[in-house]
Chains A and B, each alone.
Chain A
């Protein structure tokens, strides 16, 4: 035996390393969130949350930006959720394995790793200019939808594939059609995973800046029609910080963004957990 480190020591050493890595990661996360909140929360006030910006955002509030964020994200999801989930159903349940399917999957994976600024450029060239939609909620939403689809598709597909085939067999053997089986057994069983995919796609849409920089405009009014320009929170944050308008308000905006994401994640996690408990009885 010429081990350099005896097994019982290497076990403890690795334990320490794993712990340290875990704690370090959590600390970084807490530090970033804490830093933003400490700097951002002091500017919170009814006027900041519910008012409109004054002097390009140096004073006043960010209410139009909060509305813009929800609006653009909503438009993106209306398109991305059906497209992503339906394609996932096709890939997981119907397509089998052939070259076209592999091409679709490869395309989706590639799409997921394209830098968001490229999506922004495409949105500018295609939606804003070629389709004459102009800088507006719709152009921004469509661009974000393109970014969210691969995430929703991949996550939904995996969660459907991991539904045990014994469920499908049980359903088919009782006289259900393929679609009834997918709709009544596979989709409900895969729902937690699909929801997670939608939330990931949604988070990507809420936080995205580069993709909307060239597509959504910069208006500080509350957008009403989908053809109105808008300014979602990340974009406002970008202008506040890069144009030196107001750093405190930039932190305030960042804090709102973080809290928004936190609330959405926590609420959906809670609902998904409850659904899983009901489904599995544990």
Chain B
């Protein structure tokens, strides 16, 4: 099996606090990997380490390796802007820009210097279709994205991310602010997207992890307790703490 992202002995600190402890994980290419665990266990910090969003936090410091296709993503020679084009991110709260629907999806393409109107239109349409949003917005592409519902906004954010054709999509609890119907739509979408993208999804929702992911890692207090096939983790967990967590005894 090919692994697109690997980390080895990754430690992350914010100032004095040791947030991630010795994380070694392998993320298989073109599969969905779920990261579960209680609040504050370091799930979000981990995925933000992968696309180097933590660089924005002045007290952030790390040790160990994170590899994308075998290349160290913290190599000083690596351009973080290129990295983020290869590793897209969808946030917990939908965050479309206060621009038109079209401009939101075209945003990353503009960043890459694509100005040809025809190409832009085609890529925007493709991305909106891939994000299962096209039918709902095709006749109002010029209206503000902030006029969409929460679920539509989140699918727009997914369209915005896939428009730049990343290899990996990080999703940080993408459904936690959404209603059940919108959640189902996003989950269906994740199933569709995995053939083209590697997806890492952080989730609080255990059912969601079983529904969408092939692999699961259970994080607790900044450490990985257990990683493996989702079926295996949820049916016969190898660690007592995993069992306690998935059966709802804490978290």
Contact = CB atoms under 8 A, between A and B. Distances in A.
B146 interface: yes
A164 B88 CA distance: 20
Interface in B7-54: 51, 53
Interface string A169-193: 1111111110010001100110000
B2 interface: no
A172 B99 contact: no
Contacts of B146: 279-282
A278 interface: yes
Contact of B81 (A166, A170, A177, A189): A177
Interface in B58-111: 58, 81-82, 84-85, 88-89, 91, 93, 95-99, 107-108, 110-111
Contacts of A180: 111
B53 A169 contact: yes
Nearest to A180: B111
Given A167-B97, A171-B97, A184 B107 contact: yes
A175 B86 CA distance: 8
Contact of A281 (B56, B95, B143): B143
Contacts of B111: 174-176, 180, 184
Interface string A136-180: 000000000000000000000000000010110111111111001
Interface string A69-85: 00000000000000000
Nearest to B143: A281
Contact of B98 (A174, A177, A279): A279
Given A175-B111, A185-B97, A189-B98, A279 B144 contact: yes
Contacts of B110: 184
B144 A175 contact: no
Contacts of B157: 170
Contacts of A175: 81-82, 84-85, 108, 111-112, 164
A166 B58 CA distance: 17
Contact of A174 (B144, B145, B160): B160
Nearest to B145: A281
Contacts of A278: 144
Contacts of B145: 281
Given A175-B111, A176-B111, A282-B147, A188 B98 contact: yes
A57 B65 CA distance: 80
B120 to A, nearest CB: 15
Contacts of B112: 175
B64 to A, nearest CB: 22
A159 B160 CA distance: 26
Given A173-B53, A174-B111, A166 B93 contact: yes
Contacts of B242: none
Interface in A229-282: 278-282
Contacts of A167: 95, 97-98
A184 B110 CA distance: 10
B161 interface: yes
* Centre residue among B51, B98, B99, B108 by max chain A CB count within 10 A: B98
Nearest to A170: B95
A199 B86 CA distance: 43
Contacts of A176: 81, 107-108, 111
Contacts of A166: 91, 93, 95
Given A166-B91, A174-B107, A189-B98, A281 B53 contact: no
Given A166-B93, A184-B110, A278-B144, A172 B98 contact: no
A185 B164 CA distance: 17
B93 A174 contact: no
B112 to A, nearest CB: 7
A172 B160 contact: no
A170 B103 CA distance: 14
Nearest to A185: B97
B97 A172 contact: no
B166 to A, nearest CB: 9
A28 to B, nearest CB: 37
A172 B56 contact: yes
Contacts of B56: 169, 172
A281 B144 contact: yes
A21 B36 CA distance: 57
A173 B97 contact: no
Contacts of B147: 280-282
Q: Which 7 A-B pairs have the closest CB atoms?
A: A281-B144, A281-B147, A175-B85, A166-B95, A173-B89, A175-B84, A174-B108
Interface of A: 96, 164, 166-167, 169-177, 180, 184-185, 188-189, 278-282
Given A174-B88, A279-B144, 4 more contacts: A169-B95, A173-B161, A174-B111, A282-B147
16 contacts: A166-B91, A166-B93, A169-B53, A169-B56, A170-B97, A170-B160, A172-B56, A173-B51, A173-B84, A174-B164, A175-B81, A176-B81, A176-B107, A180-B111, A185-B97, A279-B146
